[in-house]
A and B are shown apart, each in its own frame.
Chain A
Amino acid sequence: MKKNIESHDSLWDEYNPSEYMKDSRLGLDEKLVRFISKEKNEPEWMLERRLESFRVYQEKAFPTWGPDLSKLNLEGITYYAKASDKQAESWDDVPEDIKNTFNKLGIPQAEQEVLAGVGAQYESTVIYHSLKEEYKKKGVIFEDLDVALQKYPELVKPHFMRVMPPSLHKFSALHGAVWSGGTFLYIPAGVKLEQPLQAYFRMNAKGMGQFEHTLIIIEKGAEAHYIEGCSAPRYGADSLHAGGVEIYVEEGARFRYSSVESWSKDAYNLNTKRALVKKGAHMEWVGGNFGSNITMLYPCSILVGEGASADHLGVAFAGEGQTQDTGAKVIHIAKNTSSNIVMKSISKGGGKALYRGLVDIKEGAENAVVSVKCDALLLDEFSSSDTVPVIKINDSSAAIAHEASAGKISAEDMFYLRSRGLKEDEAAAMIVNGFIEPITKELPLEYSVEMNRMIELEMEGSVG
């Protein structure tokens, strides 16, 4: 089992010399918050919001209802570092060592054929951004958020941290104080994108925090799919990821946000993702969570308009020493809203997977329809899974369906596949990939292939 865990980390274990980290500093105070804002030449209102967030951050305690975060030392984190001075427009401008890392992750090839645009975050500054010409003509904006803040303040200011306020919890407040880089995506009314837009995030330096902010606005009747993948190399020092995603899905619009996150085994992944869904609009979350020490992630849809709907699909894989505390949150505020939650978890080698969900049906949200289904697969007797599905119903017209299952890989299924010539770990990986197929089939091909490959790597040498 040890061997397996070491073996698949070769990619994540390689790192580039972090020359630029020398001048960075550990810990957080008001001076650093002001420094970040000044360094980025931000408008006064953004500095004020950062400082307000910092005040909230200082007041808030760690959440006590979830996994144990007592080993997370917030004073030992680097909150801001710059990897590259200028943003690259074309692949040729990207520095060689950074390019090597991306090459290993297969980014440029993927971009050529399938993807409409690429925004890749390396440390705190987005270094590469591109968007196909046709989308530019349609008025689609796909930018580094730091750039968008300067170029499109009229779009950024009214939306920034509105659906994801600093007051939510300690890490959204921390995020508001030190956020850096990230993506701004704007789809004008009526524009429908058929190909997914992609960004790739990657933490590199040891003990580095990453606080990218993703702000997405899908105007009336528009349709788009955005996908991001995250990975971090593996280091001894704890690293913290407290990203923020906020999405505004306007009337009649449809949006899908997909992410495949594969964090190094020491990272704390404490992410906040929220969407505001207007009348007749539809929001879809598709997520895969791999790696990390502790992940806490509960994408949230707030259904504020009549007939709004949301789908939440997720996979979490908890390996040795890992806790995946993930789930979904849907708040039904308007009439005739519906939500559909499908979560699958896999735990192995003592890993803990927990589904934590909240469906909140407010008074007056008549005829809400809710379906929650969570399935857990345990690969050995040391691993565990649990569900904490909270459903609050303040309107009696709601129709709710809830199903949960937990089970092991069937020995008969294993024997069947092995009798067809497949080795034990291959057979187990096939069964696990079959188990998560309802989620992976929703991802673009190269992502579902990558997710299946990650499962195979996790399963190598793990049985028998």
Chain B
Amino acid sequence: MNILEVKNLKVSAGKKLILDGLSFSIAEGESLVVMGPNGSGKSTLANVLMGHPDYEVKAGKIIFKGKDITKAKPEERAAAGLFLSFQEPREITGLELFPFLFDSYKALNKSKSKKADSVFVFKDKLDKELLNLNIKDDWSSRGLNQDFSGGEKKKSELLQLALANPDLAILDEIDSGLDVDALEIAGQALQRFKKKKKSLLVVTHYQRVLKYIKPDKVLVMAGGKIKERGGPELASRLEKEGFKAFV
């Protein structure tokens, strides 16, 4: 069964059409990688799938787990099991990180109509993930991404991903801003996520993250359109030849 189906998606920002008739699907447990040069629309796609209010869907449908979420609010998509790791995570001044994580965790669990977990259960999960991601204790006194380095922000996204435990995670340039060690930690985090038979949509400009995520499908985007479709071999070809052929 497909976890995500995108059908003839046309999206505009203002008067400009920036996604022009995209169609693709991701099966349960599959990893899809979207590649393309800067300005190809791949980041827009990630934001549109999560319901960014700045974009207007002109035509087409987004079907997630069999339900049409084309018009759903971002929080409804999150509750349904969709997650977006931001290319540039926001810094929310003065919003304490850990209480925020708990609020988000409660909101997501409540929507799944499970019994909301207690703070103790949450704390155990949090401690485990902090250890997994090699995050220092001083994060407890920090604001959400406030004064975080680029690498710390990406770790914050991975921490939120692990706690949200979505069915499909969209990763927008998860590997940018990471040094070699941090990339290794991030890669392992994604492998742990994949082990749970979860699905991934990886938007990336580079190849680095593909060392950890073996894609089942690869899409190449340029100018708001899908220019090429393939399997892992397409990613390897792009590594050698670059995007020149598609621009």
Give residues in A with beta carbon < 8 Å to B: 410-413, 415-424, 426, 430-431, 433-438
- Known contacts A416-B90, A421-B75, A433 near B95 by CB under 8 Å: yes
Q: In the complex, which residues of chain A have a beta carbon less than 8 angstroms from the beta carbon of B232?
A: none
Q: When the two chains form their complex, are residues B95 and A434 in contact, meaning their CB atoms are under 8 A apart?
A: yes
CA distance A267 to B79 in the complex (A): 42
CA distance A413 to B83 in the complex (A): 16
Q: When the two chains form their complex, are residues B164 and A430 in contact, meaning their CB atoms are under 8 A apart?
A: no
CA distance A417 to B84 in the complex (A): 11
- Known contacts A416-B86, A430-B95, A434-B93, A422 near B53 by CB under 8 Å: no
Q: When the two chains form their complex, are residues B78 and A410 in contact, meaning their CB atoms are under 8 A apart?
A: no
Give the residues from 53 to 84 in chain B that come closer than 8 angstroms, CB to CB, to chain A.
Answer: 53-54, 73-75, 77-79, 83-84
The number of residue pairs between A and B whose CB atoms lie closer than 8 Å in the complex comes to 80
Q: In the complex, which residues of chain B have a beta carbon less than 8 angstroms from the beta carbon of A438?
A: 94
Q: When the two chains form their complex, are residues A434 and B94 in contact, meaning their CB atoms are under 8 A apart?
A: yes
CA distance A274 to B188 in the complex (A): 60
What 8 pairs between A and B have smallest CB-CB spacing?
A437-B94, A434-B94, A421-B107, A434-B95, A418-B74, A416-B90, A420-B104, A421-B78
Does B52 make an interface contact (CB < 8 A)? yes
Give residues in B with beta carbon < 8 Å to A: 47, 50-54, 73-75, 77-79, 83-84, 86, 89-90, 92-96, 100, 103-104, 107-108, 111, 143-144, 160, 164
CA distance A431 to B52 in the complex (A): 18
Given contact pairs A419-B50, A421-B79, A434-B95, a sample of 18 additional A-B residue pairs in the complex whose CB atoms are under 8 Å apart: A415-B50, A415-B52, A415-B53, A416-B90, A416-B92, A417-B90, A419-B75, A419-B84, A420-B160, A420-B164, A421-B78, A421-B104, A421-B108, A421-B164, A422-B107, A426-B107, A431-B95, A436-B94
CA distance A228 to B52 in the complex (A): 43
Q: In the complex, which residues of chain B have a beta carbon less than 8 angstroms from the beta carbon of A416?
A: 86, 89-90, 92
Q: When the two chains form their complex, are residues A418 and B94 in contact, meaning their CB atoms are under 8 A apart?
A: no
- B145 to A, closest residue via Cβ: A416
Q: When the two chains form their complex, are residues B54 and A411 in contact, meaning their CB atoms are under 8 A apart?
A: yes
Q: In the complex, which residues of chain B have a beta carbon less than 8 angstroms from the beta carbon of A436?
A: 94
Q: In the complex, which residues of chain B have a beta carbon less than 8 angstroms from the beta carbon of A434?
A: 92-95, 143-144
CA distance A420 to B86 in the complex (A): 11
From residue B52, how far is it (CB to closest CB) to chain A in Å? 6
- B90 to A, closest residue via Cβ: A416
From residue B54, how far is it (CB to closest CB) to chain A in Å? 7
14 A-B residue pairs with Cβ-Cβ distance under 8 Å, sorted by A, are A411-B53, A412-B90, A416-B90, A418-B51, A419-B51, A419-B75, A421-B108, A422-B75, A422-B104, A422-B107, A424-B75, A434-B95, A434-B143, A434-B144
Q: When the two chains form their complex, are residues A431 and B78 in contact, meaning their CB atoms are under 8 A apart?
A: no
Q: In the complex, which residues of chain B have a beta carbon less than 8 angstroms from the beta carbon of A430?
A: 92, 95, 100, 103
Q: When the two chains form their complex, are residues A420 and B78 in contact, meaning their CB atoms are under 8 A apart?
A: yes
From residue B41, how far is it (CB to closest CB) to chain A in Å? 18
From residue A418, how far is it (CB to closest CB) to chain B in Å? 4
CA distance A438 to B94 in the complex (A): 7
CA distance A420 to B189 in the complex (A): 19
Q: Which of A420, A431, A435 contacts B107 (CB 8 A)?
A: A420
Q: Which of B78, B93, B100 contacts A435 (CB 8 A)?
A: B93
Q: In the complex, which residues of chain A have a beta carbon less than 8 angstroms from the beta carbon of B164?
A: 420-421
Q: In the complex, which residues of chain A have a beta carbon less than 8 angstroms from the beta carbon of B108?
A: 420-421
- Known contacts A420-B104, A421-B79, A415 near B74 by CB under 8 Å: yes
- A427 to B, closest residue via Cβ: B75
Q: When the two chains form their complex, are residues A419 and B74 in contact, meaning their CB atoms are under 8 A apart?
A: yes
CA distance A411 to B53 in the complex (A): 8
CA distance A420 to B52 in the complex (A): 13
- Known contacts A411-B53, A419-B84, A421-B104, A435 near B74 by CB under 8 Å: no
